[in-house]
Amino acid sequence: MNDRLVAATSWVALVFGFAFFVYVLRGDLLEPVPTPRPVLDHFLAMIAIVFGIVAIVYERKLHRGFENQKKEINDIVLAVHTRYLGDWPDHLRDITSLVSRAGADDELLILVDHIGYGHYSAPDEFEKYIDGLESARNRGVTVRLLVYPENEATTGAKRQFAAAPFSIDSPQVQAYLSRYSSIISGRPTDFDGFISFALDLENYFCERLLFKRTSVKHPVEIRTLKQAGDEDAFFWMCRRGNTEIEVVFAYPKFGSGRRGHAFISRDAHLMDEFASRFDRKWNFDSNAVGLLLYPWARHVVAGLPANASTTGGVQGQP
Residue pair 111/235 in contact by the 8 Å Cβ criterion: yes
Residues 116, 187, single domain; the answer is yes
The reported pLDDT for the residue numbered 156 is 86
Task: Please indicate, yes or no, if residue 68 is contained in any of the structural domains.
Answer: yes
The reported pLDDT for the residue numbered 314 is 34
On the 0-12 / 13-18 / 19+ scale of CB atoms within 10 A, 148 is buried
Task: Please indicate, yes or no, if residue 315 is contained in any of the structural domains.
Answer: no
Residues 73, 89, single domain; the answer is no
Residues 183, 164, single domain; the answer is yes
Q: ω before 34 within 30° of 0 (cis)?
A: no
Number of domains in the chain: 2
Residues 109, 184, single domain; the answer is yes
**pLDDT (tens place) for every residue of the chain, 318 residues total:** 455 565 566 666 666 666 666 666 666 555 555 555 555 555 666 676 666 676 667 667 766 766 667 666 666 655 557 888 887 788 999 999 999 999 988 999 999 999 999 999 899 999 999 999 999 999 899 999 999 998 899 988 898 888 778 899 999 999 999 999 888 878 899 999 999 999 999 999 999 998 765 566 667 899 999 887 666 789 999 999 999 999 999 987 655 455 678 999 998 899 999 999 999 999 999 998 877 899 888 888 877 665 555 444 333 322
Residues 87, 205, single domain; the answer is yes
The boundaries of the domain holding residue 42 are 3-77
Residue pair 249/68 in contact by the 8 Å Cβ criterion: no
Residues 127, 212, single domain; the answer is yes
Residues 208, 263, single domain; the answer is yes
Residues 40, 93, single domain; the answer is no
Task: Please indicate, yes or no, if residue 314 is contained in any of the structural domains.
Answer: no
CB atoms within 10 A of CB 36: 8
